[in-house]
Structure formats: structure tokens, C-alpha cells
Chains A and B, each alone.
Chain A
Amino acid sequence: MSESAQQSTDVGVSDQQRKEAYFTASQAQLIWSRFRKNRSAMVAAAVLVGMVLMGWFAPFLSPYDPTIAGRDKDYQNGAPQIPMFRDHNGFSWRPFLHTPERTRSIKTNFRWVTTLNKEKRRYVYFFVKGWEYHLFRLDLDLPGKALDIRWRFLKFERHLFGIDSGGIHIFGTDAAGKDIYARTLQAVWTSLAVGTIGVMISFVLALVIGGISGYLGGWVDSVIQMLTDAIRTVPAIPLFMALAAFVPDEWSAETRFFFISIILGLIGWPTLARRVRTHLLTERAQEYVLAAQLCGASSAHVIRRHLLPSFTSYIIVDLVISFPYMVLSETALSFIGLGLKDPVNSLGVMLQNVTKADVLLNYQWYFIPVIFFMALVLAFVFVGDGLRDAADPYSDRHR
């Protein structure tokens, strides 16, 4: 049928191979190849992957422990220190920093004043030994000491960079002397973790509830939809305040972290459930489903073989798009103090102290993490949009 095979064999064969690849490409492969052509989505995906890696390797990348244990008492509320390669004394291959010194004298009215000694250099070293960390760590305090979970793997001591004396704080420090750079990386990871757990929980709930609703239809569907809408109308902040009041103080920060994630998941499922139900209702009416039913296929078979694969691509899009909402909700909650607490760190926690005028006027570096979060949220949004465009064969994107 195709005449291209009669042309020069090289062109013909690779042409045929390309066409064959297109013919035998599964839905997932087609979506991926469409996604790859979307430049902004690919950039966003790279950013996303970068952030995940940064979060996972946060302890390796941070020279200091982000918790109170790693604070730098001598450099509190310190400005960001960017390593340089040359100063008035000359050039150096190894990046260095000047040394801050605190003096107090009658000239300064006996207040501690920090000056920069431009003669003393401190050099930055790479792959230094520093505080101990685990790349995989799970601490759960469950009721009853016997059930406590302590899983720790992959212990390391090396960090990407460090300095020979004093501290290197490339994003500055906060009021207690904690390194903002380290805390930012940890916060990214925490937000991703909270988002993941929340999304997973809401996804499971949405799948079950929305699935039953969409598949059975009829009065079951109507009743479930009414319940879903009722739950959706519950205002989140007051609900959280009530729940926060119930959280026992003895719970560790990690437990509190899981609790908050679960709550977010429980609040988030109605939107996802509605989407699952809509997808199911459309797919259920497709003719190929009827064809399967006419062979006597059981409901389980229809769901497994036809319905689930058909809306997997849509659901993935929905999941990716609901991620930023989880992250932002958690940020808002922690910001007003109802969410996570130290030592578990997230953007909301880091921003708790930002409301003072002192900070706004003098310590603007407290806001650097905000840029990271904007990048994270935007990355999710662009990737989600890109996936949706790739999965939808009728989207009107013309070049």
C-alpha cells in the first residue's frame, strides 16, 4: 500500500519503522510523545524533577542541620553570604567568604554590632564532613511505646559544601540562627511529602466514592453527590481550628505532620471524586463498554479492562493539578499556626515570623523561600496543563 518502500531503501525503511512505531504505540506512549513536544511543559517537568531531587538530597546539600540543633549562635538574623572568587586582595580559585565579627563597645552604645572583616578569608570546601543524616528516615510516634516506628537507612556524613570556620549561610539566617537555605530545602521536601500523602489519600477516597457513584448511577449516585457537596461546603479553616484543638501536645512533630496530611486528604477528596464520577459516566456510555457487556463481561472486568485504563490519563492530570492546592493549603495552615510546627519545617512554618515589621524592613531574605515555592507550584501547574493537552486528542492547540 505504501509507496515509500520503493523509494531509496534508507528513507523507506526508517519511514516504515516510524509509522510502525506510531501504529503500535500504546496510549501512554502517544501521550508521552505529545508531551515531549510541549516545551514549556518539559521545562516545568525538569524544574519539578530538580526540586524533588533537591528535596530528597536536602541534607546532603545543606551544610547545617535545619533544626535548632544546627543553629549558628554567632550569626543570628544574618544576611545572605554569597561566596566570591575575588576581592581587593586578589583572585582565588576556591570560593571564600569574609569573616563577620561582633564587637561591642562604647562607640556602639554597648549594642552588639556585626562588621565584616575583609582581611580574614574563610574558604569554602566541597564534600565536607558534617552533621549526620539519614537519606531515608521515618519516625512515627504511635500510642504505646511498642508501636513506635523508627526506620532509618542510608546514613551519611558528607555534605556538598562547607566552610573551614564559622558559618556559610547562602540565604542568611533567621532569628535563632537557623540556616534558611537548609530550611528551604527541607521545607520543599516536607511540602512535597505532605502534598503526596494528602493527594494519595484523597485519591483513594475519590476513586472509591466517585467510582461507586459513577459506575452505579441512579439514586446511589444522587445520594453520594449530595453528601459530597455537603462535605465540600464545610469551611476549611474553622474545621482545622477545631481539629487542631484536638491534637494532643505530646504528639511529635512528625506525627503531627502525618495528621495534617491526612486531614488535607480528607478535605480534598470531594473535588477529585466529582471528576472521577464524571469520567466514569462518560466512559460507561462508550460503545466499547457495551460491546464488552454484551459478551457477558462482569462489572469487575469492565472496570478493570476498560474504564480504569481509559481514565488513568485524566486522573493523572487531575492528581498533578491538585498537588499545588495541597501545598498551598498546608502553607496557609502552617502560617496561621494550625499546621506543622518545628522541627518539621515547611514554607508556612518559615513564614510564621514574617509578619513583624522588623522582618519586612530589615531581614528581607526571609522571603527567599517564597521564590522556591512559586517555582514549585508553577511547575506543577505547567506540567499538569501539558499532560492535559497531551492526553486530550481533541485539544485545539495548533502551532
Chain B
Amino acid sequence: MTAPLLQVRDLNLRFATDEGLVTAVESASFELEAGEILGLVGESGSGKSVTAKALMHLNAKNARYGEQGCITLNLGSGPVDVLSLRRERDMRVVRGGAISMIFQEPMASFAPAITIGQQMIEQLLIHTKTTRKQARALAIEMLARVGIADADKRIDQYAFQLSGGMRQRAMIAMALSTSPKLLIADEPTTALDVTIQAQVIDLMKDLVSEFGMAILFITHDLGVIAQTADKVAVMYLGRIVETGPVRAVLKNPLHPYTQGLLNALPRLDAFDEPLTPVPGDIPSPLERPAGCVFHTRCELAQNGRCDTEVPQVVAASDAHAAACHVVADALEARV
């Protein structure tokens, strides 16, 4: 059995700010196999974006990683411990080479003063051993592959000349041109209109099956996850509260937060039912609740237990696990 492409174990991430050490991610663990799409779902303050940036060591200088945390990439040539890479040279292999990232705001990731073609070619020249001519041909091919018409003309355009959807596609093309093993997509469709979003999601699924790569898909939109991901990990205030296959998590959510989230979502297929919000507000990262991070908003919270003891991850079935005392009790009772 081959090792998974990406293994994250006990990732702890804190930021040194003026107000003290703020915990962004705590004991996050997950795995990703090649060809799999893992959805990382969470709301604001859940830590999903910084987790993704940690994979490429892209966090700001005031990020402090925990000692026991470990991010391992299993590329063909042996395991790479990302967090121990210090030199820019070593990081380069990982960034853009094995892992590519696409962002929410495509205008922000294209340099405004050079054409898209120049940027894509530059990336190819850094990460692959191609000539400039070959790189240009490859770039045109990728642009066409992502559905941009007149790719040979578009390649010489500037980012502001493309519409939002096309920029996002161009960014996907640029990310894929180096044939990465892992694509991290940080809210790639949030800024797009619904009809364009649907096109981009279809495109990403096609590309996964064609390129055989893995995608870490970060979003707050459960609907998008339902349609794209194979596995999903739900994050709340820096902790992963539930993981599992997408069908299992969405149809039989274990964790009260996941349940609350699904109940709070307005659904097109059930719009006569009332919306039930999750009570309370997301605590600010400066006021992290003790024990289970969700207990301040949980209706099932038990005094004396949920507010002091951090729940361990318990598995309900194959690969479907949650970190909750109540769930743990229910599972024990079943046995």
C-alpha cells in the first residue's frame, strides 16, 4: 500500500500578533491520496486558508509552527517534510513544482503589468526543463484545454482584459501547466457568478480525471463540496471536527457543528422549511473556548466535560470520524 500523497499530522499553527499568540490551527490531521479531491470546509476563523498556505510554507513571518506537527509530501522521489524546509531553493521544488495553488481573487495573482503568457512561460521555465518556444506552445495548449477560446491570441493579453471567469480559468491553466501532483484551490469559485462557477467546477473535475492529480479544495460552500469532493474535512476554529466521505458526512453528519451547518443552509430543494441558525457567534480567535472549541454554541454540550476536555477523534465507520464527546458516547453505547 503506497503512502498517501499528502499527510498532515498534528499541525499546530499560531501567529505572534500585537495581542499575543493567536492559535489559528490546532492538532489538524488529514491525508490525501493521489487522484482524490479533499474538501476543507469551514467558516471565517476556521483556519482553512492558513492550513493550505502552511502546505507551501507561505504563511507570514510571524507564524509559529508547533513542534510535533508534520506535513509530509510523498512524491515519487521520497518523502519531503515541508515544515523543515528552510531554504528558498528547497521550497521551490515544492512550490509550483509538486504543488500548485489557485486563489480566490484571480486578479490578485496575475501580475498586472505583464501578459498572462509571460507569466505562464516564466513559471514553466523555472519549474521544467523546456525551452521558451516549447513553454509557449504548452501554455497555449493549457489555455485551450481550460476552455479559453482563441488561446493563441489570449496568451498575449493582460489580466485586466479578461473577465472574471476567464481569469480564473487562466489561473487554473497556469497552475496546471507544471503538472503538479497536488493542486490547492483556495476558494476558487467564491468570487464567480453562479453560472460561471458551475463551468469552472466541471472543468476542475475533468482535469482531475485527465491529469490524475489530487485537489485540496478549500471553501465555505457546502454545495460546491457536495458536487466536487470525494472526501470532506470540516474545520471549526482551527480544529478538524469531522472527516469522512462526502456522502457520509452530508447525509449522516456526526458532529453537532456539521449538523448545525447543514440545518442553517438554505436549500433549493426544501425551501419551505425554516432556517435554523447555529446559535451564538463564532468566538474571536483571542477568546478561544477551553475544552471542545464548539461547546459555546453546542446544544448538546455537557457542563464539566465539553468545556474542559478536548474530545478525541472517534471513528464511526470506515474513514468517517468526528471529534465529539457526545458522538463518542453514542458510539460506545452502540458497541
A residues in contact (CB < 8 Å) with B = 1-4, 19, 34, 37, 396, 398-399
Pair A3/B289 contact, Cβ less than 8 Å: yes
User: B257-285, CB under 8 A of A: which get 1 and which 0?
Assistant: 00000000000000000000000110100
Residues of chain B within 8 A of A34, CB atoms compared: 18
Residues of chain A within 8 A of B62, CB atoms compared: 398-399
Q: For the complex formed, measure the closest distance between the CB of B304 and the CB atoms of chain A, giving whole angstroms.
A: 11
Chain B's closest residue to A7 (CB) is: B290
| C-alpha spacing A139/B148, complex, angstroms | 77
Residues of chain A within 8 A of B283, CB atoms compared: 1
Q: For the complex formed, measure the closest distance between the CB of A391 and the CB atoms of chain B, giving whole angstroms.
A: 14
Residues of chain B within 8 A of A37, CB atoms compared: 18
Residues of chain A within 8 A of B281, CB atoms compared: 1
Contact status of A399 and B307, CB under 8 A, knowing A1-B280, A1-B283, A2-B287: no
Pair B290/A398 contact, Cβ less than 8 Å: no
Please tell me if B296 contacts chain A, counting CB pairs below 8 Å: yes
Q: For the complex formed, measure the closest distance between the CB of B305 and the CB atoms of chain A, giving whole angstroms.
A: 14
Please tell me if B17 contacts chain A, counting CB pairs below 8 Å: yes
Pick the residue among B60, B61, B307 that contacts A3 (CB under 8 A). B307
The 3 closest A-B pairs by CB, nearest first: A398-B62, A399-B16, A398-B61
| C-alpha spacing A396/B17, complex, angstroms | 11
Q: For the complex formed, measure the closest distance between the CB of B17 and the CB atoms of chain A, giving whole angstroms.
A: 7
Residues of chain B within 8 A of A3, CB atoms compared: 289-290, 296, 307
Name the prevailing secondary structure of the A interface residues: loop
Q: For the complex formed, measure the closest distance between the CB of B50 and the CB atoms of chain A, giving whole angstroms.
A: 14
| C-alpha spacing A290/B235, complex, angstroms | 37
| C-alpha spacing A345/B122, complex, angstroms | 61
**Contacts A/B (CB < 8 Å), 15 sampled:** A1-B280, A2-B287, A3-B289, A3-B296, A3-B307, A4-B287, A19-B287, A34-B18, A37-B18, A398-B16, A398-B17, A398-B61, A398-B62, A399-B16, A399-B62
Q: For the complex formed, measure the closest distance between the CB of B287 and the CB atoms of chain A, giving whole angstroms.
A: 6
Q: For the complex formed, measure the closest distance between the CB of A127 and the CB atoms of chain B, giving whole angstroms.
A: 45
Q: For the complex formed, measure the closest distance between the CB of B281 and the CB atoms of chain A, giving whole angstroms.
A: 7
Pair A1/B18 contact, Cβ less than 8 Å: no
User: B277-321, CB under 8 A of A: which get 1 and which 0?
Assistant: 000110100010110000010000000000100000000000000
| C-alpha spacing A1/B17, complex, angstroms | 24
| C-alpha spacing A34/B60, complex, angstroms | 20
Pair A1/B296 contact, Cβ less than 8 Å: yes
Chain A's closest residue to B283 (CB) is: A1
User: B215-248, CB under 8 A of A: which get 1 and which 0?
Assistant: 0000000000000000000000000000000000
Q: Which of A37, A396, A398, A399 has most B Cβ within 10 Å?
A: A398
14 extra interchain contacts, Cβ-Cβ under 8 A, other than A3-B289, A398-B16, A399-B62?
Answer: A1-B280, A1-B281, A1-B283, A1-B296, A2-B287, A3-B296, A34-B18, A37-B18, A396-B60, A398-B60, A398-B61, A399-B16, A399-B17, A399-B18
| C-alpha spacing A3/B281, complex, angstroms | 14
Residues of chain B within 8 A of A19, CB atoms compared: 287
| C-alpha spacing A37/B281, complex, angstroms | 30
| C-alpha spacing A213/B283, complex, angstroms | 43
Chain A's closest residue to B308 (CB) is: A3
Chain A's closest residue to B288 (CB) is: A3
User: B1-24, CB under 8 A of A: which get 1 and which 0?
Assistant: 000000000000000111000000
| C-alpha spacing A399/B14, complex, angstroms | 13
| C-alpha spacing A399/B61, complex, angstroms | 9
Q: For the complex formed, measure the closest distance between the CB of A32 and the CB atoms of chain B, giving whole angstroms.
A: 13
